[in-house]
Structure 1
Amino acid sequence: MSDMFVEKFRGLVPLYLEEPWQEADGITVADLDAVFSELQITVPLALREFLHALGNCEELMEAYYYFWDPEELELEDGYLLFLEDKDENYTWGMLADQADVPDPIVWRRNNATGEWINEEGTFSEFVFDMLDWVFKEVLTDQD
């Protein structure tokens, strides 16, 4: 793994949780490789590094929306699915045939209609924007 995004993803722990990143927040590369091999899926670099950095950090993995655990990732409709909202109205994914793209574009599916909409941002952009929105907008509105 080239660690293109790992440090930026690790930096989300002190940014939003006000504590240092710890190794236990992530999932080892070996464990990820084993899961992806068993599932027979190819996962883009940005998603792999996100899970490596934060896959066990429940506070971020389940911050408003729910990132799927590595063993829950699945291919459906030509997309690699990785996230859903709490009411399961929407699911997010990336085109499965772009698994070799380091940081592919994210798409959102309306689960009622099956329609996919381009989120017009890469996975890393989507993650940083979503968590910024959750921690600065949603959670402050609940105070």
Structure 2
Amino acid sequence: MSDMFVEKFRGLVPLYLQEPWQEADGITVADLDDVFAELKISVPLALREFLHALGNCEEIMEAYYFFWDPEELEVQDGYLLFLEDEDEAYTWGMLADQADVPDPIVWRRNNATGQWINEEGTFSEFVFDMLDWVFTDSE
């Protein structure tokens, strides 16, 4: 893993939770590799590194919306799904055939209609913007 995004994702813990990042906040690369191999899915670098950095940090993984645990990731309608809102009205994903793109564009599905809408930002941009909105809006 190239660690393109890991440090930035780890930096979200002190930024929003006012405590230092700890190894227990993340999931080991080996564990992620095992899960993805068992699921037979390819996961883009940015999502892998997000889970590696923060996959066990409930305060961030469940901040307003719910990021899925690695073993819950799945492909539907050609999208790799990774997030949903608490009412399960919307699900977020990225095109599954773009797993080799380090930081792919995020799409949102309206679960009632099945319609997908481009969020016009990459996974890392989406995560940073969403968490900034969640944590600064609640203050």
Q: What is the one-letter code of the residue matched to 1:52?
A: H
Matched, 1:45 2:45: yes
User: Could you give the per-residue CA deviations for residues 111-140 of structure 1, whole angstroms, max 9, x where no partner exists?
Assistant: 000000000000000000000000001x12
Q: Show the counterpart of 2:28.
A: 28
Q: Show the counterpart of 1:94.
A: 94
Q: What is the one-letter code of the residue matched to 1:121?
A: G
Q: What is the one-letter code of the residue matched to 2:57?
A: C
User: Could you give the per-residue CA deviations for residues 33-54 of structure 1, whole angstroms, max 9, x where no partner exists?
Assistant: 0000000000000000000000
Q: Show the counterpart of 2:71.
A: 71
Q: What is the one-letter code of the residue matched to 1:87?
A: D
User: Could you give the per-residue CA deviations for residues 27-82 of structure 1, whole angstroms, max 9, x where no partner exists?
Assistant: 00000000000000000000000000000000000000000000000000000000
Gaps of 5+ in 2: none
SS state at 1:112 partner: coil
Paired residue total: 139
Query: Normalization by structure 2: what TM-score?
Result: 1.00
SS state at 1:120 partner: strand
Q: What is the one-letter code of the residue matched to 1:130?
A: M
Matched, 1:105 2:105: yes
Q: What is the one-letter code of the residue matched to 2:76?
A: E
Q: Show the counterpart of 2:81.
A: 81
Matched, 1:54 2:57: no
CA distance in 2, matches of 1:109, 1:133: 20
User: Could you give the per-residue CA deviations for residues 76-117 of structure 1, whole angstroms, max 9, x where no partner exists?
Assistant: 000000000000000000000000000000000000000000
Q: What is the one-letter code of the residue matched to 1:8?
A: K
Query: CA-atom RMSD, angstroms?
Result: 0.3
Q: What is the one-letter code of the residue matched to 2:56?
A: N
CA distance in 2, matches of 1:136, 1:59: 14
Query: Sequence identity of aligned pairs in percent?
Result: 88
Q: Show the counterpart of 2:4.
A: 4
Gaps of 5+ in 1: none
